[in-house]
Amino acid sequence: MSEIHHERFRLLVKICKLYYEDGLNQQEIAKRLGISRPHVSRMLTTAKNEGIVRVSIHNPFSVEQELEKALIETFGIPDAVVVESAGDDPARLLAQLGRTGAALLESVLQDGDIVGIMAGRTVAGVADELDYFARDGLQFVPLVGGWGSEGGAWHSGANTMAFANKLKAKYWMMHAPAVVQSEEVGRLLREEPDIGGVLKLARSGRVALISIGEVSGEATIVKAGNISAGELKALEERGAVANLCASFIDPDGREIDFPGNSRFIGLTAGELRAIPSVIGIAGGTSKVKAVAAALRGRWLDILVTDAGTAQAVLDNHRNHEAKQGG
């Protein structure tokens, strides 16, 4: 190394030490050494390129982030957030998903946002874990009517109120059940100015936070009495594996037409898709088929789930693709 190169190397190392070890910013280094800030920036870049500086990140979330990357690349969604699996502890899983969803909302929500909120215990868990953060002009609105007549802290209205109260924001209520007894009643209720106005506001939202319901006898929509055993059987015969707001979808992610559609009061999957940022939150083995279908249909922009569910969803999709190819 020539003497001039040796001195240039000495300056390069000195700048790196001042920046990475002593904590000076680029402007402070430039002033101290009597050089321009752009020159400092170029030298720091050179130091990285030549291996003088090696950046090492201690990452305790590498397994989960590999799953996030796989979900994003496999299903073409903008983002995924995967948390550590909670084993066989549903309460722990609910709390983990709630904390992660709450942190995500803090980064996603902007001043003036209209936020659609779905029913479900997982969505309620996000509200439980939410801490106040300042945003001006937020409005929270339910995406569906009431999920059964029995009172519950996880109904869409209760969830909507919980989010608004935590963030000291305005909220709207939909004074109607999610499912009514006849098509005619459904049509009349949707035409009611108060109900129609809330549905219109929900459609205009920028963000929606939804649960992803499975189609089984254990599903909330069934246990709440909104879907009869006969209707559940009819849905299963049509291939329904997931419930998104007021719609059902098949394993390929296609919206299913069934006779009870018009009895639902709420946004359809098609209307949900028009919302710019749809965040789906779900976890556990019972949700795997539903989550995979929702991802195949591109109904979600961001998925929040746990590592066990994420891996099972990827496995499910590989099996699905193999069958389709066969």
Say whether pLDDT at 297 is over 80.
yes
Question: Does one domain contain both 77 and 183?
Answer: yes
> What are the distances in angstroms from CA 302 to CA 71, 76, 78, 130, 282?
10, 10, 6, 18, 11
Residue 286 sits in which domain range?
Answer: 62-325
Q: What is the residue type of 265?
A: I
Whether residue 42 sits in one domain with residue 84: no
Of residues 222 and 109, which shows the higher confidence score? Answer: 109
pLDDT at 198: 95
Q: Is residue 112 part of a domain?
A: yes
pLDDT digit string, tens, across residues 77-105: 999 999 988 677 889 999 999 999 999 99
Co-location of 145 and 264 in the same domain? yes
Q: Do 23 and 124 share a structural domain?
A: no
Note the pLDDT of residue 75: 97
Poorest-pLDDT segment among 100-114, 171-185, 242-256: 171-185
Whole-angstrom distance, CA of residue 195 vs CA of residue 62: 46
> What confidence score (pLDDT) does residue 239 get?
92
Q: Are residues 129 and 80 in the same domain?
A: yes
Q: What number of helices (H) and strands (E) belong to the chain?
A: 14, 10
The verdict on 282 and 234 lying in the same domain is: yes
User: Among residues of the chain, what percentage have pLDDT more than 70?
Assistant: 93
Tell me the pLDDT of the chain averaged across its residues.
Answer: 89
In a domain, 134, yes or no: yes
Q: What span, in angstroms and rounded, lies between the C-alpha atoms of 172 and 225?
A: 25
Same domain, 161 and 292: yes
31, part of any domain = yes
Cα distance between the two ends of the chain: 63
Total tally of structural domains belonging to the chain: 2
42 and 67 in one domain?
A: no
Q: What is the pTM of this model?
A: 0.82
Is residue 265 included in any domain, yes or no? yes
Residue 56 maps to a domain: no
* Residue 57 domain flag: no
Kindly state whether residue 54 falls inside one of the protein's structural domains: no
Res 151: pLDDT: 53
182, HSE (Cβ side, Cα atoms, 13 Å): 3
Average pLDDT over residues 231-248: 90
Same domain, 73 and 40: no
Give residue-wise pLDDT tens across range 298-307: 999 999 999 9
CB contact at 8 A, 130 and 164: no
Within a domain: 55: no
Instruction: Tell me the CATH number at 44.
Output: 1.10.10.60
d(CA 136, CA 112): 6
pLDDT at 250: 96
Domain co-membership, 153 together with 258: yes
Q: Which CATH number covers residue 140?
A: 3.40.50.1360
Same domain, 296 and 273: yes
Beta carbons within 10 angstroms of residue 60's beta carbon: 7
Q: Are 102 and 231 contained in the same domain?
A: yes
Q: Quick: pLDDT tens for 33-69.
A: 888 899 999 999 999 998 888 877 777 778 899 999 9
What's the confidence (pLDDT) of residue 201?
Answer: 97
